[in-house]
Amino acid sequence: MESSVDFEKLVRNKYRGLLRAVESRGGDKEDLALIRKAYKVAADAHKDVRRKSGEPYITHPLDVALIVTKEIGLGPQSIAAALLHDVVEDSDYTKEDLEHMFGPSIAYMVEGLTKIQGIFDHQSSSMQVENFRKLLLSISDDVRVILVKMADRLHNMRTLDGMPYHKQLKIASETLYIFAPLAHRMGLYHIKSEFEDLGLKYTEPETYDELERKLDEAEEDDAIYLERFSQSIESLLESEGLDFEVKRRNKGIFSIRRKMLNQGVTFEEVYDKYAIRIILDTNAKREKADIWRAYSVITAVFRPNPRRLRDWITAPKANGYESLHITVMGPEGHWIEVQIRSQRMDEEAEKGYAAHWRYKEDNSGNAALDEWVSRIREAIENQGDSAVEFVDQFKLQLFNEEVFAFTPQGKMLTLPKHATALDFAFEIHTDLGMSTLGAKVNGKLVPLSYEIQSGDQVQILTSEAQRPQPDWENWVVTPKAKSKIRQYLRDHQRDTQDRGKRLLQRALKKAKSELNQSTTQKMLNFFSLRNPKELYERFGSGQFGTEHLRSFIQEESGGFYQYLRRRFRPKGANLKEISEASRRIVFGPDQVILEHSMATCCHPIQGDQIFGFVEENGIQVHRTDCRHAVHLQGRFAEKVILARWASGQEGQGFNATLRFSGMDTSGLIMKVTSLISNELSIDIRSLHIDSHDGVFHGTIAVHVTDRSQLSNLANLLKGIKGIDRVEREFSKG
């Protein structure tokens, strides 16, 4: 009973805390009424339901709503959707009920959250790619859906201790794979860092525990030093008359580990484990000037590392992040990162794109957000055949560092690091990219594969006759450029193949033939091609013409074996120069000698029944009782040719293996070797016998002249006392 009372108090405190948070952000009576109504419906839907921890389930939607309010900073509609996000899935309430009670906007968000939850309930890790794509689709419809989902996932990660290990691993892996990159791209740096740290905690607990312990110890050791450095910074800024607040930020455990791995350094060698953040209280007109004033004052006393300057004031990140990061040499020879930003910038850095929403949620975002959402739609619409590749490319864009470059007119474009001049062209407009002939960077001609550097001014040169080339795929990194180039090349290839197929159909019709499966296969054999598409493409592109087709028709009229004779005739002026191995077997009704090789799956020897099979690289000879014979002769009959051993040819011998077994007797090995070496004069290549509990199994590899000699050997082995079974061994291939 006491526990029940405690839970009631817990729920009541969380609910009151949510209402206070809404009021503190300027919520009016109408907003509070909406929150109360949403809470009442959620509490009714989840009554008598408990979480794994034993807490009433309603604590989860309340905590998600608190994250949405306080840590992401969304408005009342999103808070209501957070409270209601599990209602449709877990109760009898429908989307129509919610639309009637709360209007279409909130009902739509809840429906989107329900759909997302459904795809993540799937147990297979192979669903991750499709999950990612569906998440992106939800973003392109209403970004608030994914922001509420972020809050839901963050609360799940914070309460993961009560879950079984396999579920912890699945949820944590999914968080690192999908949610951390998205949080990064949306500017939710605090949440991204927590996703990463908690993800590491459950995927690599020992690594996490060790680094957490080391970080706590280091922070304890450095606390006095950092306090002294912070006071020095404060004194400098106060002397300049600036209004500010100083905060200290620890680098995330995941981030420290990534730096250790990437740079091959130890924990002790990671020098920017802490950062001092200076938040200036200044108006929008003066914020940049005041930030550079603060920079000037600090670097006049503490020497900066020029390679560690990150100016996102002059050129903000694509997600709107603005801040000036410098690394200075503090007292006692320690490097310390200092971040300088205004209160507005800090708010937007903490809340990401959510900070661009007005509290009343009139969907007024910002240009960077609108552009990013439009890119998501475009990337999904142009997704190629490979969903995995699509996700890899998109994740690359989510996490990648950025460069900025200018058009000749001075417009600035932000691109991922390693983007090329060709990426730049596609970024301006697809049509421009498709007709790009060359590029000038800072007035000089450069190849299309030139990597853009921050500050470059890029002029794209075009031609109406220019079209994307296959090499272009290797010269771009942005998903937009890759998808457009691939789409064009696929369409162009398809058109070429269709043209080639029509050409072949007309030409063969004139030659009193037709383009059926049999003719196509013969043409593939004749031209040594892999598939019909390759054949059609050669003719459609002009690589093959009428002379190639005429050659095929002449060869075809002369018979398949004439073609084989031309293609596989042994090299040599006369029969004496032809190798002994090539003369052992003859092919076709004319019994012609052709270059060939023995199949390793059945190792034919003279006297075996055999057939030839035309491979791409030559003719292989198989035994008719080969394990692959039925498959080859049934499915690829047109590639099978007659083959037999040439009469009157004394071969140089064949390698073969016999397998034998029986009851173990003394002197067995001596009897076997004596029989083979002394009585038959056959060379033994290897002999292996395993004996266990009076039963033995053995193999013997020998060099014989033909099948009859091998059969004779097998019969004699069977006559040895103790051997009851002898059989020829196929290769396991």
pLDDT at 392: 56
- Break the chain into its structural domains and give their ranges: 2-203, 215-356, 488-557, 564-645, 654-728
pLDDT at 118: 59
pLDDT at 355: 59
Point out the least confidently predicted range of 119-128, 413-422, 653-662.
119-128
201 exposure class (CB count in 10 Å sphere: 0-12, 13-18, 19+): buried
Q: What is the DSSP string of 662-720?
A: EE--TTHHHHHHHIIIIIS-PEEEEEEEEEETTEEEEEEEEEESSHHHHHHHHHHHHTS
Q: Which two tokens stand for residue 447?
A: 């190849």
CA distance 412 to 241: 34
CA distance 462 to 123: 50
DSSP class of residue 334 equals: -
Mean pLDDT to the nearest integer, 81-106: 88
Mean pLDDT to the nearest integer, 420-432: 91
pLDDT at 319: 64
Provide the CB-side half-sphere exposure for 179 (13 A, CA). 31
What is the 3-state secondary structure of 473-536?
A: HHHCCCHHHHHHHHHHHHHHHHHHHHHHHHHHHHHHHHCCCCCCHHHHHHHHHHHCCCCHHHHH
Query: Does the structure show a pLDDT above 80 at 227?
Result: yes
First to last CA, the chain: 71
Contacts of 225 (CB under 8 A, 6+ apart): 330, 331, 332, 334
pLDDT tens for 17-32 read 888 888 887 778 888 9
- In the block, which residue shows the tokens 């389930």? 57
pLDDT at 421: 93
Q: Which two tokens stand for residue 166?
A: 């396999």
Q: What are phi and psi of 577, to 5 degrees?
A: -85, -10
pLDDT at 66: 93
**Higher local confidence (pLDDT), 568 or 471:** 471
| Catalytic residue (one of 28, 30, 90, 650) | 90
CA distance 723 to 696: 9
pLDDT at 576: 46
CA distance 398 to 143: 16
CA distance 509 to 507: 5
Alpha-carbon distance values, 727 to 623, 654, 700, 703, 712 (Å): 15, 17, 11, 16, 12
Alpha-carbon distance values, 294 to 286, 316, 379, 396, 603 (Å): 12, 19, 41, 34, 82
SS3 613: strand
- Catalytic: 281? no
Q: What are phi and psi of 600, to 5 degrees?
A: -80, -10
Are residues 14 and 57 in contact, defined by beta-carbon separation less than 8 angstroms?
Answer: no
pLDDT at 451: 92
Point out the least confidently predicted range of 95-104, 130-139, 455-464.
130-139
pLDDT at 122: 47
pLDDT at 575: 46
Which has the closest alpha carbon to 13: 49, 51, 69, 66?
66
- Catalytic: 555? no
pLDDT at 133: 62
Query: Does the structure show a pLDDT above 50 at 123?
Result: no
Mean pLDDT to the nearest integer, 642-666: 73
pLDDT band at 185 (very low <50, low <70, confident <90, very high): confident
**Higher local confidence (pLDDT), 340 or 571:** 340
How large is the angle between the packed helices 546-557 and 517-527, nearest 10 degrees?
Answer: 110
| Catalytic residue (one of 44, 48, 63, 89) | 89
Per-chain mean pLDDT for the chain: 80
DSSP class of residue 730 equals: P
pLDDT at 259: 86
CA distance 555 to 552: 5
Mean pLDDT to the nearest integer, 419-445: 90
Are residues 257 and 200 in contact, defined by beta-carbon separation less than 8 angstroms?
Answer: yes
Q: Which CATH code is given to the segment(s) 2-203?
A: 1.10.3210.10
Percent of the chain topping pLDDT 70: 81
Which has the closest alpha carbon to 212: 156, 242, 252?
252
Query: Does the structure show a pLDDT above 80 at 729?
Result: no
Of how many residues is the chain composed? 733
pLDDT at 126: 43
Query: Does the structure show a pLDDT above 50 at 127?
Result: no
Query: Does the structure show a pLDDT above 90 at 294?
Result: yes
**Residue 557 carries which side chain, given as an amino acid letter?**
S
Are residues 622 and 604 in contact, defined by beta-carbon separation less than 8 angstroms?
Answer: yes
pLDDT at 647: 66
Query: Does the structure show a pLDDT above 70 at 327?
Result: yes
pLDDT at 516: 83
pLDDT tens for 544-561 read 877 777 777 766 655 566
Q: List the beta bridge partners of residue 444.
A: 441
Are residues 62 and 83 in contact, defined by beta-carbon separation less than 8 angstroms?
Answer: yes
Query: Does the structure show a pLDDT above 60 at 365?
Result: no
Q: Which CATH code is given to the segment(s) 654-728?
A: 3.30.70.260
Mean pLDDT to the nearest integer, 472-500: 87
Q: Which CATH code is given to the segment(s) 215-356?
A: 3.30.460.10
pLDDT at 155: 93
pLDDT band at 225 (very low <50, low <70, confident <90, very high): confident
pLDDT band at 101 (very low <50, low <70, confident <90, very high): very high
Query: Does the structure show a pLDDT above 60 at 212?
Result: yes
**Higher local confidence (pLDDT), 141 or 646:** 646
Topology alike, domains 215-356 and 654-728: no
**Higher local confidence (pLDDT), 652 or 311:** 311
Provide the CB-side half-sphere exposure for 100 (13 A, CA). 6
Are residues 460 and 492 in contact, defined by beta-carbon separation less than 8 angstroms?
Answer: no
**Residue 365 carries which side chain, given as an amino acid letter?**
G
- Work out the number of other CB atoms within 10 angstroms of the CB of residue 728: 18
Which has the closest alpha carbon to 294: 315, 323, 251, 270?
323
Are residues 461 and 438 in contact, defined by beta-carbon separation less than 8 angstroms?
Answer: yes
Q: Which two tokens stand for residue 9?
A: 């108090």
